[in-house]
């Protein structure tokens, strides 16, 4: 099973706000022995959101989507999810109760009696209009839930707000509630070093040989042109199943030594 991430919002693409979800979702998954396979950012364009969701609903990945599930005119994710699935939006009964309870509590905190039929409170109910058949994701911050829905069992999608204070604990809840059987199931190890003053083209044959000899290992290179604190270098490493990672890394070090390449080990 692969995990994907969709981040929705014009404010990210315009630069008004910096995305914080990508690094946090990678962290949340990593703490559980899982990894993010891909991520996409899309603006508040209903046609683009719908097309993206049609594609991901038809795929086989578990997807988290952050943003756009509010009830203002620039929030389209709920409607687009329904359109992508070909189902109507429907007021979620349990979601309605949760939202009305929040309305009551807010009114009491202000020293007033709630009017659930007031126009603004009827408007708030749109927050819990989800694609038909959706399940709720609890929101510990303000009790306004997110939702989970899928076209088929192999590609569940989990929709949470764009606010990190809400989204991150909701994503953690989804992982702990629905995917705990996957935690730390696939052992993974990564080892790397810095190679100084070498061209990637010179190192490519070594990288190709390592992946051929060790099929459970992926080799990676991250070049840097250097700055006032470090020389030009390449972070060269291997990742994958622990037993093969260690063997491949030792092989890589031996070959770099044979090449008289200067390198520095990085802490595991």
What pLDDT tens digit does each residue of the chain (268 aa) get? 799 999 999 999 999 999 999 999 999 999 999 999 999 999 999 999 999 999 999 999 999 999 999 999 999 999 999 999 999 999 999 999 999 999 999 999 889 988 999 999 999 999 999 999 999 999 999 999 999 999 988 899 999 999 999 999 999 999 999 999 999 888 889 999 999 999 999 999 999 999 999 999 999 999 999 888 889 999 999 999 898 999 999 999 999 999 999 999 998 6
**CB 142, CB 166: distance < 8 Å:** yes
**CB 3, CB 35: distance < 8 Å:** yes
Phi, psi angle pair for 36, to nearest 5°: -85, 130
**Domains in the chain: boundaries:** 3-182, 190-265
Between CA 60 and CA 164 the distance in angstroms is 26
CATH topology of domain 190-265: Alpha-Beta Plaits (3.30.70)
Q: What pTM does this model have?
A: 0.86
DSSP output for 151-201: SSTT--EEEE-S-HHHHHHHHHHHHHHH-GGGTT-S--EEEEEEEES--HH
Q: What is the CATH number of domain 3-182?
A: 3.40.980.10
Q: Which two tokens stand for residue 198?
A: 């070498």
Which position has the token pair 């038809």?
A: 58
Between CA 49 and CA 47 the distance in angstroms is 6
């Amino acid at each position: 099973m692969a995990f994907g991430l969709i981040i929705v919002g014009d404010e990210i693409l315009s630069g008004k706000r910096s995305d914080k979800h990508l690094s946090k979702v990678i962290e949340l998954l990593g703490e559980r022995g899982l990894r993010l396979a891909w991520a996409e950012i899309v603006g508040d364009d209903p046609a683009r959101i719908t097309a993206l969701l049609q594609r991901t609903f038809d795929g086989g990945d578990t997807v988290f989507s952050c943003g756009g599930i509010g009830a203002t005119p620039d929030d389209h994710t709920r409607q687009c999810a329904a359109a992508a699935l070909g189902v109507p939006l429907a007021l979620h009964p349990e979601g309605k109760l949760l939202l009305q309870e929040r309305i009551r509590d807010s009114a009491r905190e202000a020293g007033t009696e709630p009017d659930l039929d007031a126009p603004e409170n009827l408007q708030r109910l749109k927050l819990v209009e989800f694609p038909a058949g959706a399940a709720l994701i609890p929101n510990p911050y303000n009790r306004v839930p997110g939702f989970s829905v899928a076209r088929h069992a192999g590609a569940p999608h989990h929709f949470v707000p764009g606010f990190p204070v809400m989204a991150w604990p909701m994503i953690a809840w989804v992982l702990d509630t629905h995917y705990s059987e996957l935690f730390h199931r696939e052992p993974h190890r990564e080892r790397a070093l810095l190679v100084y003053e070498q061209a990637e083209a010179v190192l490519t044959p070594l990288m190709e040989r390592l992946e051929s000899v060790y099929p459970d290992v992926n080799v990676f290179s991250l070049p840097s042109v250097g700055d006032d604190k470090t020389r030009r270098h390449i972070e060269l490493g291997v990742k994958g199943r622990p037993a093969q990672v260690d063997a491949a890394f030792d092989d890589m070090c031996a070959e770099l030594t044979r090449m008289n390449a200067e390198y520095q080990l990085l802490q595991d």
